[in-house]
Amino acid sequence: MPQLTTFVSAGRRILPNQWDLIAFAAILAVLTGIAKSYHGISAPLPAANESVVSLDYWELPYYAFRTVLRMFAALAASLVFTFTYATLAAKSRRAEMVLIPVLDVLQSVPILGFLSFTVTFFLGLFPGNTLGAELAAIFAIFTSQAWNMAFSFYQSLRTVPPDLDEVARGFRLTGWQKFWQLEAPFAMPGLIWNTMMSMSGGWFFVVASEAITVGDTTITLPGVGSYIAKANDEGNWWAIGAAVLTMGIVILLYDQLLFRPIVAWAAKFRVELSESQDVESSWMLNLIKRTYWLKSGFVPIAAAMRSVSFWPLRLPRSASAPSLSKSQVPSRLIDALWILIVIAVAAWAAWLTVSYIATGANWDEVAHVFLLTTYTLIRVIVLMALATVVWVPISVWVGLRPRWAEAVQPIAQFLAAFPVNLLFGAAVSLVLAFNLNPNIWLSFLIVFGTQWYIVFNTIGGAAAFPNDLREAAANFHVHGWLWWRQVIIPGIMPYYITGAITATGGSWNASIVAEYVKWKDHTVVADGVGSYIAQATDKGDFPKIVLGVAVMSLFVTIFNRLFWRRLYAYAERRLRL
């Protein structure tokens, strides 16, 4: 009898259980979809201006899968960019002097500006093949995902608690070991919420990235974005509704199958001394834990990753290290040479830009653009202040309650992903019907797609807030405004600043489409640098396009340096755990 029991238990360990079968079926379905999509990706490039998109509803699942593949490919590239670019900026003072201002500029440059310079390059890599257009679309989506992820990771690396840093030094961890054992886990909660925001940001720009225009030639790729663009052009509201419904279903699926398990898993990286009463959960994560073969397959992968994280490699120390020995004090001569090199490169780039602008614009035009940029700046500041007042309290409330965060998460992703161009018809109709001031009412189109950066980062900051500090505040009966001022606002401030910086940069970007709105035969224009760039793009006036983008980038850099960076430094110095 004992032998029979042993045989049965051994059989149970060898054979997969029912949960394995469910997981394998899901994996097989995904692999089948990828295989089918590969034939479309490797197909010959369609003829110029030939539409490959059909408005038949039954095509939507295939289009949705193609769009999601592009977005996840761009997300993988964004993660690689984040872990390299943001880490270098956080670890090296000299690199930070260049990389962070460049990141400020990149996040404010319109996504269509990237497309105009990169499409020809990617098409040239694979002439006559759809893969070149696919890479151009993936790069365009990458530019809508990478910047906020890099800012989030950079902020987390700069605000690692000093006591944990001292523990890492006490254990004599090398730079590589410290990065993977302390800094990357500490950054996980904020990075995961920004990754979700990046996926939604990718949906926000799929319409532009899947219908690529080079001169008078338009290349359309199968996808939900191109489906929406075609339905919008034809005024087919039933097709638009079907596309939006498909987008909502897809967001719900990858939220439940991917992001919700990751959020629940990342809860173990929270910095706290007591166990939280509300624990994040995920049915998908529970299903994986109940499997036998699938879970067993993860064990060697996890062991390999853990062994890699303990390699005795050395990385440069963080610039924010609390104490440096005399041998580690940076050389003033090297600093001076580096600053001279940076100034020389910046001056050369500025000279090239000014020389090109001078071919199509005079000083009066430059002064006019400065005035228009000031209008957009005021618009962005007012909108960010309104978004902060409205969304920070709501986001904190949600972030402190994991159950509510679990319910709100897919809804917030869908709202952040909703294409703002679908609102153009309503916006133009309201402005014309009631004779409204476009300088005021078109402004809300700017904040519609960018306020979510504040929402996602604030929720991530509140979710990462240590439970023991919440319990201490409750024990000392700290409530009301005192709780906000002394407890939660300092706790979420680094996360909020990251969200506000990326929201501000996204608002400058969104002004291109929000200040110059076309709908059928009507055009509504608001005063601002966004409408200036949009009108210059319609006319093909490249010197004026460069002038508008250059002045916008200058304003963004100066505003970030004078305001956001100072606030960032204060948060690093005074508002760290």
Cβ neighbours, 10 Å, residue 558: 12
Q: Is the pLDDT of residue 335 over 50?
A: yes
Per residue in 218-237, pLDDT tens?
778 889 988 988 887 787 88
pLDDT of residue 125: 82
Higher pLDDT: 165 or 153? It is 153
- All domains of the chain, ordered by start, with CATH? 15-319+360-574 (1.10.3720.10)
pLDDT of residue 112: 57
What are φ and ψ of residue 318, in 5° steps?
Answer: -65, 145
CA distance readout (Å), 337 to 90, 319, 344, 345: 21, 18, 10, 12
What are φ and ψ of residue 541, in 5° steps?
Answer: -90, 90
Q: Is the pLDDT of residue 327 over 70?
A: no
In angstroms, the CA 27 to CA 395 distance is 34
Q: Which residue type is seen at 315?
A: L
Residue 517, token pair as written in the block: 């709105």
Higher pLDDT: 362 or 8? It is 362
Cα 214–chain centre separation: 26
What is the average per-residue pLDDT within 552-577? Answer: 82
Q: Which of 293-297, 344-348, 375-379, 507-511 has the highest mean pLDDT?
A: 375-379
**Strand ranges (DSSP E) for 410-497?**
none
Per residue in 511-521, pLDDT tens?
887 888 877 67
DSSP state of 55: -
How much is the pTM?
A: 0.81
Per residue in 74-88, pLDDT tens?
999 999 999 999 999
- Look over the chain and give the mean of its residue pLDDT values, rounded to a whole number: 82
Q: Which residue type is seen at 155?
A: Q
In angstroms, the CA 397 to CA 121 distance is 47
* CA distance between the termini of the chain: 59
Place of tokens 């997981």: 23
Give the dihedral sign, CA 20/26/32/37: negative
Per DSSP, the three-state class of 148 is helix
Per DSSP, the three-state class of 219 is strand
pLDDT of residue 328: 47
- Per DSSP, what are the bridge partners of residue 417? none
What are φ and ψ of residue 538, in 5° steps?
Answer: -60, -35
Q: Is the pLDDT of residue 312 over 70?
A: yes
Q: What percent of the chain has pLDDT over 70?
A: 86
In angstroms, the CA 248 to CA 348 distance is 47
Burial class (CB in 10 A: 0-12, 13-18, 19+), 243: buried
Q: Which residues of 472-484 are buried (b: 16+ CB within 10 A; e: fewer)?
A: ebeeeebeeeebe
pLDDT of residue 306: 78
pLDDT of residue 271: 67
In angstroms, the CA 452 to CA 449 distance is 7
Per residue in 4-32, pLDDT tens?
444 444 444 567 777 777 777 777 777 77
Residue 562, token pair as written in the block: 């004078």
Give the dihedral sign, CA 335/336/341/346: positive
Higher pLDDT: 513 or 145? It is 145
Per residue in 173-211, pLDDT tens?
888 889 998 999 989 888 998 899 888 888 877 877 787
Conformation bin of residue 435: beta by default, left when phi > 0, alpha when psi is -120 to 50: left
Per DSSP, the three-state class of 157 is helix
The upper half-sphere exposure of residue 45, i.e. CA atoms within 13 Å in the direction of its Cβ, equals 21
Contacts of 177 (CB under 8 A, 6+ apart): 168, 309, 310, 311, 312, 313
Contacts of 346 (CB under 8 A, 6+ apart): none
Q: Is the pLDDT of residue 379 over 90?
A: yes
In angstroms, the CA 198 to CA 213 distance is 24
Banded model confidence at residue 346, pLDDT cuts 50, 70, 90: confident
- Rounded-to-5 percentages of helix, strand, coil across the chain: 80, 5, 20
Nearest to 179 by CA among 80, 35, 314: 314
Banded model confidence at residue 40, pLDDT cuts 50, 70, 90: low
Q: Is the pLDDT of residue 485 over 70?
A: yes
pLDDT of residue 230: 86
In angstroms, the CA 459 to CA 476 distance is 25
Banded model confidence at residue 324, pLDDT cuts 50, 70, 90: very low
Q: Is the pLDDT of residue 373 over 90?
A: yes
Per residue in 256-270, pLDDT tens?
888 888 888 887 777
Contact between residue 526 and residue 515 where contact means Cβ atoms under 8 Å apart: yes
Give the dihedral sign, CA 133/108/342/364: positive
pLDDT of residue 396: 94
Higher pLDDT: 520 or 282? It is 282
CA dihedral 42, 44, 46, 48 (to 10 degrees): 120
CA distance readout (Å), 82 to 37, 139, 492, 502: 27, 15, 21, 14
Q: Is the pLDDT of residue 434 over 50?
A: yes
pLDDT of residue 25: 79
In angstroms, the CA 116 to CA 276 distance is 50
What is the average per-residue pLDDT within 237-241? Answer: 88
